[in-house]
Amino acid sequence: MQVKKTFEFLQKFNANSGTWVFAATLFNKLILFVIKLGILFYFEKAVYGQITYAVSIVAFFTPFVGLGSPSGLLRYGSIVKSAQEKKEISHYVFTQGLGLSLMMAVLLLPIVWFFAKDNATTYLFLAILCFRVVSLFLFNYQSVEMRIQDLNKRFAQFDLVNSLLLLAGALVLTLLFNAIGYILSLVLVPIFVFILYAIKFGWPQWRKKISDNISLKSFWAYSVWASFSNVLTETVFIVDTILIGLLMSDTAVAEYNVAGLIPINILILPIIFMKTDFPQIARNFKNRNFLKNYYQQFFILFLIICTAGMLIAYFLGDWILSFFGKDYEPYSIFIILMLGASISILFRIPLTNMISAFGKTRFNTITGFITILADIGLNLYAIPRYGLIGAAWATTSALILSGLLSLIYFFYYLKKETI
């Protein structure tokens, strides 16, 4: 009986063009890996360091593109019923979000100077990348606009086109203009893809007023909280690396990162499901039976996947890690981080996304803040005493705490706020 339900769950995922989203996401990951590998070998070490440093600095600000309005569009555009209301919200987000992103890009220009370390080349990279917040807004807006209309196949194709053009753009512009060319490709390609799809499927219109049935205050509160929540979510996965670098050595950071390569990358699997089904979850945010059944089927499916993954890691971990070279064999750390990844897959990732679909991004932000504080405290205690093993257990413990808090709130929400 349960096998049949799990199979039906996968059938619904496929019917919602989930396999298209799955393929596009994996292809995007592959293209990004190829590009990173290419620039690693093409540029001198110092130039490569400047590029990655500049990209990392600006990446911290990207969750705030459009002041989080694409997230607001995804949630509120999913729950309104009529196509006209979807268009009204979509056009409003385009108008306001584009203006806010342009303003943010200009404001970032003097701010990033403080991160340039008095290096003119680094500042040039940072200054160009400031306008990546505009191109990412356009890309995110176009993606969400398709998703709220349940056009997941078109959304996946859009992602595929962007990946291919990013590869081509990075290659051509790098050969023509070296490092500046690569930086320009990161800014220009998403804009070019947006224009292509706008020409084919229609340009968004200017609109200064949101739909009459949507509270302006609620919309922007949700959007801003979603931005903070996204920043905190990403930060959880870099706290341990930063503290290892401060308290141990560069060699320890390298060994830890190798151990975390597979655990971090398998997190994309539940994210694909959430990316595909978020509009459907948002539309049913008051339907207790739907929400309970969805999470139950998701949990069972990924419990099977995580169990298989843990068994493979336990019995074949040494062999898998041997591919990274004899200097990288952190088997025990790998197993612990696989456990942390499994906890995230089963609890943290699906539940935080579902809670966001409920409109409770403020809760996710609070939970994220608590998780980071716990992560920092546990790592500061464990790293000096137990080294990399301590860091792995500290991070896994913080992820367990996050998953537990989300699970408690999920059941509270089902009991108090659904019918």
Position 2 pLDDT exceeds 80:
no
Q: What band does 329 get if pLDDT is binned at 50, 70 and 90?
A: low
Task: Report pLDDT for 328.
Answer: 56
CB 96 within 8 A of CB 68: no
Position 326 pLDDT exceeds 80:
no
One-letter identity of residue 133: V
Digit-coded pLDDT (tens) for 24-76 = 999 998 998 889 888 878 888 788 878 888 888 888 888 899 999 999 999 99
Alpha-carbon distance of 291 to 332, in angstroms, equals 37
CB 192 within 8 A of CB 177: no
The DSSP code sequence of 230-291 is HHHHHHHHHHHHHHHHHHS-HHHHHHHHHHHHHHHHTTHHHHHHHHHHHHHHHHTTT-HHHH
Nearest-Å Rg of the Cα atoms of the chain is 22
If one compares 5 and 216, the residue with the highest pLDDT of the two is 216
pTM, entire model: 0.89
Sign for the CA dihedral angle at 28, 342, 152, 202 comes to negative
Position 129 pLDDT exceeds 70:
yes
Alpha-carbon distance of 109 to 116, in angstroms, equals 11
Q: Which two tokens stand for residue 33?
A: 């890996």
